[in-house]
Amino acid sequence: MSRTFLKMNGLGNDFVVVQTLTQNFEPTPEEIRAIAKRGDGGIGCDQVIAIDPPKAEGASAYVRFWNSDGEETGACGNGTRCVAWLLMQSAGKTEVAFDTVAGRLSGVAAGEKLVTVDMGPPRLEWSQIPLAEAMDTARVELQVGPIDAPWVHTPVCVSMGNPHVVFFVDAPVSDEFATKTGSLVEHHPLFPEGVNVGFAHVESRDHIRLKVWERGAGLTAACGTGACAAQVAAVRRGLTDRKAKVEFESGALTIEWRESDGHVIMTGPVSMDFAGKLPEAVAA
């Protein structure tokens, strides 16, 4: 039996979304890689998302995320907005809650194909990132490049249900720089589970420019949890106010690290690209 998917994206960070209410989907890492491959029979995406039936009361679904390298991950911010939009559309509602391995998330409609999601509180302890050793996560002892003239240094670490390291840079970085530096840091021994690597340039107290080298997916057009992590990191360093625009070359998200409950609130667009059938090789 052939199975269906939806192709969606948030600011160009793109997803193959499989709704598993009526179809089984327990992919191996190899199958995820085949689906995510761009060209050569693959559909092509940064992440694969499965929307499963709920496991707990109060939730509309249980959601799983995989990177294009085949590994499962705990969180995906742009994907969370897409899932929230889909669930709201199918239920004819303007708010929704669903569970992930990293906890409960919720979303509300904020306009035409615009969604606000509550990404929960950031985790800031070194063991929660996780780091390999105890360290102040607001000033991590890490530098990349020559010892006497590092390219980047002393980042902030934040977990949004997935690990992020955020370097503050004097000017927006190029794709080449993000690729070279990000790929070195992604598998640094300080990060036993790998890490998503953000390069944040603070334009003003309410505006950050960001590029993210994603763990397991490489340089993507945008990273929602990366934007949340960059804003939390900037507030921790006293560089921005609680609410800021976090801008990628493909567009912007509004991120607020809410003072009242410490949750991170993200607002941004959702795009539906097309629907299709999974190739037989991965649909068996």
Ligand X SMILES: N[C@@H](CCC[C@H](N)C(=O)O)C(=O)O
Contact pick of 60, 67, 181, 254 for ligand X (by CB under 6 A) = 67
Residue 76 is among the residues annotated as catalytic for this protein? yes
Is 220 or 240 the residue whose CB approaches ligand X more closely? 220
Is the distance from CB of 144 to CB of 184 less than 8 angstroms?
Answer: yes
**Active site residue: 82, 157, 223, 228, which one?**
223
Q: Among the candidate windows 94-102, 141-149, 216-224, 233-241, which touches ligand X by CB under 6 A? A: 216-224
Q: 235 burial class (0-12, 13-18, 19+ CB within 10 angstroms)?
A: buried
Q: Among the candidate windows 56-64, 219-227, 261-269, 272-280, which touches ligand X by CB under 6 A? A: 219-227
220 in contact with ligand X (CB under 6 A): yes
77 in contact with ligand X (CB under 6 A): yes
C-alpha distances out from residue 38 to 14, 32, 35, 44, 276, Å: 11, 12, 8, 4, 15
Rounded CA gap, 10 and 189, in Å? 31
Residue 157 is among the residues annotated as catalytic for this protein? no
**Active site residue: 45, 76, 157, 228, which one?**
76
For 195, what's the count of Cα atoms within 13 Å in the CB-facing half-sphere?
30
119 in contact with ligand X (CB under 6 A): no
What 3-state class would DSSP assign to 108? strand
Q: Among the candidate windows 105-113, 129-137, 166-174, 221-229, which touches ligand X by CB under 6 A? A: 221-229
Rounded CA gap, 200 and 246, in Å? 9
Residues 184-203 that bind ligand X (CB under 6 A): 196
| Residues in contact with ligand X by the rule CB under 6 A | 13, 46-47, 67, 73, 76-79, 162, 196, 214-217, 220, 223-226
Instruction: Enumerate the active-site residues.
Output: 76, 223
